[in-house]
Amino acid sequence: MSISQLARSIEPSPTLRMNEEARLLRQKGEPVIHLGIGEPKNKAPISALLASAAKLNTGEIKYAPTSGIPSLKKAIVRYTEENYGRLVSAENVIVSGGAKQSIYNLLLSIVDPQDEVILLAPYWVSYPEMVKLAYGHPVVVTAEDGSFQPSMAEIERAVSSYTKAIILNSPNNPSGVVYSEAFVASMVDFCESRKIYLIMDDIYHKLVFDGVKAPSAYSFTKKDVDESYIIVTNGVSKLYGMTGHRIGWVVGNRKIIEAIDTLQSATSSGPSVVSQAAAEGALTGVQSVVEHLRLTIQNNRDVLMKELRSFNGVGITCPQGTFYALPDFRAYSRNSVQLAEMLLKKALVVTVPGVTFGMEGHLRLSYAGTVKDVTEGIKRMKWALDPNAPNEIFIGDRKLVRDWL
Ligand SMILES: Cc1ncc(COP(=O)(O)O)c(C=O)c1O
């Protein structure tokens, strides 16, 4: 059996692997606590459900225009104006099958072989693999001070004549960090002066806490979107709890949008019209659903922080957004894969190893589930890692044995 070099060069998504292991354990009836999930628990907004049901009822489920149905693109134009104060036209927008595909198609459209794409650690696990699939080189910048925010000077040092783009994801998956106004402003200045694309992955941009706002890159440039190097990607997966609908988009220079359109026409075509109708329903419906989710997640974050503060030896950076935190477990193990595997096996708690986000010794914990998941998950982790804890505990009638220390 011969598998291509390209396919072999790509790492399988560790998040999906952990999810699969957890699913199999759950299938066997094991009381698994899932702190690995990357999706909120809320249902799709009613406006999305009604819009997709209405579309289904027409029976006209045909090919969509490659770049998206005009009414959804119009809703994205309006979303951009309302949330970023930036007027764009439908030619600046393309809809794809989830933000993942949006980012991938975007990279395929701008990256040449040998080009470098700068990623800030910790970074979303799929970026390096997508850059490699586009025959580019991911260049990771890690803050020397151990924080989750590399400085402008550190980023500038990593830039070369091959740098094609820098990806900023704020709030950040996996750390929950929101980059400051000053930082985003400097990035915009720097990228525009060096003609480097600044890709803003805004998929969590409204999931922010304590009155913090994720600064928009558009605020720091007067350039029209067709002259600008800023490209924004977003979607309905996280803010509207619509991960399964697979709708994401890119807003940017129309030349890039045209290139993505050509690429998409040769590969996937436009995403399902049913999902596009649902996304339009979500964007044009009552927006309090997003605020409701934000408040629930903020409360879960508070509970997680309280639990982690009493977790001996664990270093914490309080997340300002998303539904993830990235605590430092180096006091327990410097190998996050081994640690995550042990926690799943012994405590039946799913976490995601930090090494996959470029932060070894850390674990990504999701608080997108319930408060009970958070408290029970951390309780079991404390038990599994405390040398003075009893060797056995019971979860209902299931005995957990901690025999690894
Ligand atoms: C930072 C980031 N960008 C993009 C995506 C992709 O979102 P979608 O589910 O719409 O493909 C994710 C999903 O986990 C993400 O965390």
Q: pLDDT tens digits, residue range 367-376?
A: 999 999 999 9
DSSP single-letter state for residue 313: T
Question: Which pLDDT band, with edges at 50, 70 and 90, does 13 fall under?
Answer: confident
Residues 220 and 337 reside in one and the same domain:
no
Residue 371 CA: distances (Å) to CA of 185, 295, 301, 396: 36, 13, 9, 19
The answer, yes or no, to whether residue 258 has pLDDT greater than 90, is yes
CA angle 211, 216, 220 (to 5 degrees): 125
Ligand 1 atom nearest to CA at 103: 4
Under DSSP, the state recorded for 172 is: -
Residue 169 Cβ < 6 Å to ligand 1: yes
Task: Identify the weakest region by mean pLDDT among 35-39, 199-203, 224-228, 309-313.
Answer: 35-39
CATH number for position 118: 3.40.640.10
Q: Give yes or no: residues 210 and 62 share one domain.
A: yes
Q: 38 and 54 in one domain? A: no
Pair 268, 65: CB distance under 8 Å: no
> Do 223 and 358 lie in a common domain?
no
Q: Does residue 100 contact residue 133 with C-beta atoms inside 8 Å?
A: no
Residues 179 and 191 in one domain: yes
Q: What is the pLDDT of residue 22?
A: 87
Closest ligand 1 atom to Cα of 236: 10
Question: Quick check: 237 and 74 in contact, CB under 8 A?
Answer: no
The mean-pLDDT minimum among 17-21, 23-27, 388-392, 394-398 falls in: 17-21
73 and 212 housed in the same domain: yes
Work out the pLDDT band at 405, boundaries 50, 70, 90. Answer: low
Ligand 1, atom nearest to 101 Cα:
11
- Centre of ligand 1 to C-alpha 99, Å, is 6
376-380 contacts: CB < 8 A, separation 24 or more?
376/33, 377/33, 377/35, 377/349, 378/304, 378/307, 378/308, 378/311, 379/307, 380/33, 380/343, 380/347, 380/348, 380/349
What average pLDDT is seen over the chain? 95
User: 68 falls in which pLDDT band (50, 70, 90)?
Assistant: very high
Q: Ligand 1 test: best mutation among 238, 242, 250, 283, most atoms within 8 Å of CB?
A: 238
Instruction: Find the DSSP H helices in 97-180.
Output: 99-110, 126-133, 152-158
Cα of 100 from ligand 1 centre, angstroms: 5
Closest CA to 66 of 44, 91, 96: 96
Q: What pLDDT band is residue 125 in, cutting at 50, 70 and 90?
A: very high
The single-letter DSSP state of residue 272 is P
Distances 209 to 141, 308, 314 between C-alpha atoms, Å: 26, 18, 22
Domain boundary among 264, 284, 304: 284
How would you classify the pairing of strands 33-34 and 349-350? parallel
Substitution candidate for ligand 1 out of 76, 104, 107, 124 with most atoms within 8 A of CB: 124
Whether residue 87 sits in one domain with residue 109: yes
Q: Which atom of ligand 1 is nearest to the CA of 100?
A: 11
Indicate if 119 and 52 belong to the same structural domain: yes
Sign of the alpha-carbon torsion through 381, 205, 194, 115: positive
Give me ligand 1 centre to Cα 128, in Å.
14
The model's pLDDT over 208-228, given as tens digits with 9 standing for 90+, comes to 999 999 999 999 999 999 999
Instruction: Tell me the two tokens of residue 5.
Output: 């070099």
What proportion of the chain, given as a percentage, has pLDDT over 90? 90
Outline where DSSP puts E strands in 215-318.
230-235, 248-251
State the closest ligand 1 atom to the C-alpha of 15, by its place in the atom list counted from 1: 14
**What pLDDT was estimated at residue 404?**
67
Question: Cα dist. 188→92, 167, 184, 215 in Å?
Answer: 19, 12, 6, 11
pLDDT, mean of residues 161-175: 98
pTM of the model: 0.96
Instruction: Report the percent of the chain where pLDDT is more than 70.
Output: 99
How many domains in the chain?
2
How far from each other are the two terminal CA atoms of the chain, in whole angstroms?
A: 42
- pLDDT of amino acid 347: 96
Query: What are the pLDDT digits (tens) for 264-305?
Result: 999 999 999 999 999 999 999 999 999 999 999 999 999 999
CB-based contact 229:196 (threshold 8 Å)? yes
- Residue 148 shares a structural domain with residue 277: yes
Host domain of residue 365: 5-43+288-401
Read off the tokens for 292: 């409701």
Question: What is the Cα 364 distance to its own chain's centre?
Answer: 12
Of 254, 284, 314, the domain-final residue: 284
Q: Are residues 294 and 257 in the same domain?
A: no
Rounded Cα distance between 175 and 321, Å, is 9
Report whether residue 170 contacts ligand 1, using a CB cutoff of 6 Å: no
In 237-380, at which residue ranges do the beta strands (DSSP E only) sit?
248-251, 324-325, 349-350, 352-353, 363-366
Q: Is the pLDDT of residue 16 over 80?
A: no
Final residue before a domain boundary, out of 253, 284, 315: 284
The pLDDT of residue 137 is: 97
Q: Are 165 and 111 in contact (CB under 8 A)?
A: yes
